[in-house]
Structure 1
Amino acid sequence: MNIYGSTISLLEQGLNFSSAKGKAISQNIANVDTPNYKAKHVIFNEILKNEQQKPFHAYRTNALHFDFRTKVAQSKVFDSSSLRYRQDGNGVDMDKEQADLAANQIYYNALVDRLNGKFNTLQNVIKGGR
């Protein structure tokens, strides 16, 4: 029996995505002066859109159930091999990386705040509302 639904696991997957994105941004910032370094990016939205366009086939236990299945798409890291921002072949745009870092930090903090709220609710239930 799952007493808290799938919310916590979805928040966990969101935190994993944010962590992978933070690592990629950190690597990009650390290698801003490395010649021929290509910036890395973590994508999720494009993968999700591609998955949503595919037909769904579900395991149904009853003929009256809808025919669909939900799948959680995983994020992937790719490098921008075609982009060059400087003469030395470096593909890191420092302004974009800093903006992405700030947005990712806000996203991460929102997920952690929501996760804390879920755990506080569980703790309140365990204590019997006291």
Structure 2
Amino acid sequence: MGIFGGTISNLERGLDFSAAKQKTIAQNIANVDTPNYKTKSVNFNKFLATAKKNTISTHRTEEKHMNFSMQTSASGVYDYKNFRYSNNGNGVDMDKEQANLATNQLYYNALVDRVSGKLNTLQTVIKGGSR
């Protein structure tokens, strides 16, 4: 367990999820006019399960060294194969994608704010409580 009881690593997983979701939404928006393109989405549960499987633990040579693990890239992306939004077979609903984009941006900003708060707390502790 880390300095904050795993909080930073959980926030990091949330940021990874948000980045994957942002990439997927951007891909959907970029392909709004592509015939037969099917909307893609990111499932948080699948993303988290994949992230847990892809953890690489490190070897500590000294007990005083901090224990940490590295995440390899996780994928929880899936597409809607049978969904058709327009006559050309495209499955992208632009209004929905823009709403998803705004929601994901708020989620990402909240996570970044929490990480910043945790790091500021750590900085205060290191400096001895004085600013």
Category of TM-score, reference length = shorter chain: 0.7 to 0.9
Is it true that 1:106 corresponds to 2:87 in the alignment? no
Superimposed CA distance per residue, residues 42-98 of structure 1 (whole angstroms, 9 cap, x where no aligned partner): 0115777xxxxxxxxxxxxxxxxxxxxxxxxx6610011110011100000001000
Residue aligned with 2:42, SS: strand
Residue aligned with 1:41, SS: strand
1:20 match: 20
1:125 match: 125
1:87 match: 87
Superimposed CA distance per residue, residues 15-51 of structure 1 (whole angstroms, 9 cap, x where no aligned partner): 0000000000000000000000011000115777xxx
Tell me, in whole angstroms, the C-alpha distance in 1 between the residues paired with 2:85 and 2:2: 50
Tell me, in whole angstroms, the C-alpha distance in 1 between the residues paired with 2:14 and 2:125: 25
TM-score by length of 1: 0.76
Q: List structure 1 segments (4+ residues) > 4 angstroms apart after TM superposition.
A: 45-48
Residue aligned with 1:36, SS: coil
Q: Tell me which amino acid in the other structure corresponds to 2:35.
A: P
Q: Tell me which amino acid in the other structure corresponds to 1:126.
A: I
Structure 1 residues 47 and 11, CA gap change in structure 2 (3 angstroms): closer
CA contact (8 A) 2:46 2:75 kept: no
Structure 1 vs Structure 2: percent identity of aligned residues?
Answer: 69
Matched ranges for 1:1-130 at <5 A: 2-45=2-45, 76-130=76-130
Tell me, in whole angstroms, the C-alpha distance in 2 between the residues paired with 1:46 and 1:14: 13
Q: What's the CA shift for 1:101? A: 0.3
